[in-house]
Structure 1
């Protein structure tokens, strides 16, 4: 990648006042905190947390084939990134899961959730209505959404034990795909780790000082599209 800033226009390059290698390392500090993947254990359900990244559905299908749980719930209506999709996140995820060999009788769709907390509460309601007990579940999310997904589940479904999994996509691979949007999303997600805990939406999880300082600097530099004001 060298010292070039990928996927950022010339006007943005003028706007951002730090060299790209420094910006990249600030993002890595946030990534290192947000990514939280646990060891797996046999579970009642795999919950694919809806988003724009269909690799989450692929990972959920892989875990199903490996036998970690007999049931996959794909949860998601439309969110801040997927508002223009022709289908809900759940329908897109279900299509991908089926393409990867998950049969219909092992798949449930939850199509109302518009955020991480609703992924949890709506899935809980769906499974309760179907009489599916959950003592342990696996949350599958984008790598940088794993910690926040866990924090939401521990608040909104504390009776169950929650494990986390994610597609094996590296920080650098995310940057190569779309650096600007990726950094914006991570900046917003790290802020939500603090703001949503304060509002009672998820359990508090302390943010390291270095990660918070990186958030503040990236927001100052203009990666603030998803920052709550």
Structure 2
């Protein structure tokens, strides 16, 4: 898991996904006083397309259940991917002075979320946080295979999306890339991007 040291910010952005622990982590950061505002961003993505509600609505409920009041919470319900989480939130917060923001994402998504935010909203200093969930909790759970498929796809996006200009380049250690290629070869490539 990659996280940055925390510092006071203007906004905490919970990156929508299927893992509600991201919203709970955003609420925890709000309670610790890192920022006065939480934005939950997410429409429906590849994993949540069948949900009855948007990711933002599910996350908002979790954030409120964890004690964040409605006046400290904004919903962005259109984003279907990481880049849209950033650009749609940027539009939502237009007119507010945002110098620093805290991204909250799944543990394996923090690097790519940061790289995307630094490309899509470069005048903000971005920090990253994630729920403290170990690898074993993902792999040993009922969605272990999907977790590996998502993680393999996400690492591929680190390279492909930098080449396409969607995010700033981030170096990937050779060992990580070799593991990615082996997992893809073993059939965990369901979410690979060309």
Shift of 1:210: 1.0
SS at match of 2:110: helix
1:170 is displaced (CA, Å) by 0.5
Instruction: Say whether residues 1:72 and 2:38 are aligned partners.
Output: yes
C-alpha separation in 1, matches of 2:33 and 2:139? 32
Total equivalences in the alignment: 193
Q: Which runs of 4+ in 1 moved over 4 A?
A: none
| Alpha-carbon RMSD | 0.7
Unaligned runs of 5+ in 1: 1-34
Question: Paired residue for 2:105?
Answer: 141
Between structure 1 and structure 2, the one with the greater Rg is: 1
Higher normalized helix content (fraction of residues) = 1
Q: Report what 1:211 is aligned to.
A: 176
The residue correspondences of 1:62-101 to structure 2 (distance < 5 A) are 62-101=28-67
Partner Cα distance (2:8, 2:182) in 1: 41
1:196 to 161, 166, 170: 161
Counterpart selection for 2:120 from 148, 156, 166: 156
Gaps spanning 5+ residues in structure 2: where? none
CA distance in 2, matches of 1:213, 1:65: 40
- Residue in 2 that maps onto 1:132: 96
Deviations 1:167-218 (A, max 9, x none): 0101111111122111000000000000000000000001111111111111
> Any idea what SS the aligned residue of 1:197 has?
helix
Question: SS in structure 1 opposite 2:93?
Answer: helix
Kindly state the Cα deviation for residue 59 of structure 1 after the two structures are TM-superposed.
0.4
Higher relative contact order (CA 8 A, sep 6+): 1
When the two structures are superposed, what TM-score results if normalisation uses the length of structure 1? 0.83
Cα-to-partner distance string for 1:79-101 (whole Å, 9 max, x where unaligned): 00000000000000000001111
> Which residue of 1 is the match for residue 72 of structure 2?
106
Aligned equivalents of 2:45, 2:123: Cα separation in 1: 27
TM-score, length-scaled by structure 2:
0.98
The 3-state SS of whatever aligns with 1:56 is: helix
Cα deviation for residue 132 of structure 1 reads: 1.5
Residue 44 in 1 paired to residue 45 in 2?
A: no
